[in-house]
């Protein structure tokens, strides 16, 4: 698990993290005259007018707030840092980029909305609803609530210590999956949004090196963790992952080894790829691997049910080292049309949002990319 902090200054000063300017106790002491949802509605109305105005001038409206809006402390689409929570903010930004995943949750809202044990889904949709708000108070409350829910089952996220983005992301997906048996017993038709969008199966085939007897089993996945191939591409890493490895094995025929190969038995709608950038030394110290990798915009993945074409839509990167690092997220612009892509992307650095492009991300994140999200289109 990488040790990260909420701020990081690179040598080029390309991206600079920021610390919260107020303590949570101070923020929560203010008494809002309107409810959270009423405030969100007001912000959405104001931002819609602002967006239309900016569109007419051809300028991007996701910039720093103007002086007249100085009471607002976060960019539209940005998330305030609650104290070493860049790992959570980046994970949420990537998940909200996967529109099919969010739609899957919204589609079953009538099933989970009234169930008190499904608060995780409710809070995630509430965060989606306030995504464009510039009111930091609202976002802080919702983000803290979401973090508290995850921490109930995963105590390592309870305090403001530094944490790993991949571990947090998997905790979120696992907790959503754990709700399926509960919600499926309501009598209504419920499909797990994680399995529907990120789920796929890998098939393990083991063959005795002496007699050739085979055994086959399948295992369910929602992400793929790959060893780095220095200078290689994402497809190179997948190829290395599925290639045959020799294992010790005692067969009835007297054979002492077998060959194991992996195959995609099925493919997901969105493939989450985790790059293993962190490892332990012989003295059990954590180290980061800075080897550059070729980040492909498009992937072709083969499976037993046919091939699939995937396009990069989001990336979580870890800047810095194990002692002083920071997570950021780069995602395709929410208004970019998949059928007519313009290559408009956004960089989410906690509460700050900057415009960028997909090609820039593939070039600049080669040494820091940590989690990649590829959406299938064929």
Q: Over pLDDT 90: what percentage of the chain? A: 73
> Are 192 and 180 contacting, i.e. CB atoms less than 8 angstroms apart?
yes
Q: Is the pLDDT of residue 91 over 70?
A: yes
Q: Is the pLDDT of residue 376 over 50?
A: yes
> Are 326 and 8 contacting, i.e. CB atoms less than 8 angstroms apart?
yes
Instruction: Give the mean model confidence (pLDDT) for residues 213-217.
Output: 97
Residue 54 is predicted with a pLDDT of 42
CA dihedral 207, 209, 210, 214 (to 10 degrees): 0
Largest CA distance in the chain: 80
Domains of the chain: residue spans and CATH: 24-376 (3.90.70.10)
Overall pTM > 0.95:
no
Q: Which helix (H) or strand (E) holds 77?
A: none
Q: Is the pLDDT of residue 148 over 50?
A: yes
Q: Residue 2: pLDDT band by 50, 70, 90 thresholds?
A: low
Higher-scoring residue by pLDDT: 117, 26: 117
Listed in sequence order, the DSSP H helices in the chain are: 24-28, 36-57, 86-97, 99-107, 109-112, 119-129, 136-153, 165-178, 180-184, 193-197, 234-242, 358-364
pLDDT digits (tens, 9 = 90+) for 318-365: 999 998 899 999 999 998 876 667 899 999 999 999 999 999 999 999
Residues 6+ apart with CB under 8 A from 70: none
Tokens of 29: 């002491």
pLDDT digits (tens, 9 = 90+) for 37-66: 454 455 445 445 544 444 433 333 333 333
């Amino acid at each position: 698990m990488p040790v990260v902090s909420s701020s990081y200054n690179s040598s080029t000063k390309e991206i600079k993290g920021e610390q919260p300017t107020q303590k949570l106790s101070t923020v929560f002491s203010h008494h809002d005259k309107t409810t959270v949802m009423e405030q969100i509605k007001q912000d959405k109305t104001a931002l819609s007018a602002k967006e239309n105005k900016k569109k007419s001038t051809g300028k991007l409206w996701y910039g720093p707030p103007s002086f007249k809006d100085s009471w607002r402390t976060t960019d539209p689409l940005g998330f305030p840092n609650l104290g070493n929570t860049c790992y959570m903010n980046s994970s949420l930004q990537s998940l909200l980029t996967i529109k099919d995943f969010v739609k899957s949750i919204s589609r079953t809202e009538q099933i989970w909305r009234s169930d008190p044990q499904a608060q995780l889904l409710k809070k995630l949709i509430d965060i989606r609803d306030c995504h464009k708000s510039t009111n930091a108070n609202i976002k802080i409350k919702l983000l803290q609530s979401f973090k508290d829910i995850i921490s109930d089952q995963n105590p390592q996220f309870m305090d403001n210590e530094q944490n790993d983005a991949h571990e947090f992301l998997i905790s979120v997906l696992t907790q959503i999956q754990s709700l399926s048996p509960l919600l499926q017993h309501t009598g209504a038709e419920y499909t797990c949004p994680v399995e529907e969008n990120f789920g796929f199966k890998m098939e393990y085939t083991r063959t005795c090196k002496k007699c050739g007897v085979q055994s086959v089993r399948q295992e369910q996945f929602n992400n793929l963790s790959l060893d780095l191939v220095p200078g290689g591409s994402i497809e190179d890493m997948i190829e290395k992952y599925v290639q045959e490895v020799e294992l010790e094995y005692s067969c009835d025929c007297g054979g002492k080894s077998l060959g194991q190969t992996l195959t995609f038995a099925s493919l997901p709608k969105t493939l989450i790829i985790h790059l293993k950038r962190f490892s332990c030394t012989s003295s059990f110290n954590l180290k980061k691997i800075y080897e550059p990798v070729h980040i492909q915009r498009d992937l072709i993945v083969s499976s037993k049910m046919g091939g699939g074409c995937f396009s990069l839509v989001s990336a979580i990167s870890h800047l810095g080292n194990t002692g002083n690092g920071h997570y950021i997220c780069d995602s395709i612009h929410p208004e970019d049309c998949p059928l007519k892509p313009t290559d408009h992307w956004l960089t989410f650095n906690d509460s700050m949002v900057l415009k960028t492009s997909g090609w820039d991300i593939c070039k600049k994140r080669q040494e820091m990319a940590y989690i990649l999200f590829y959406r299938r289109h064929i």
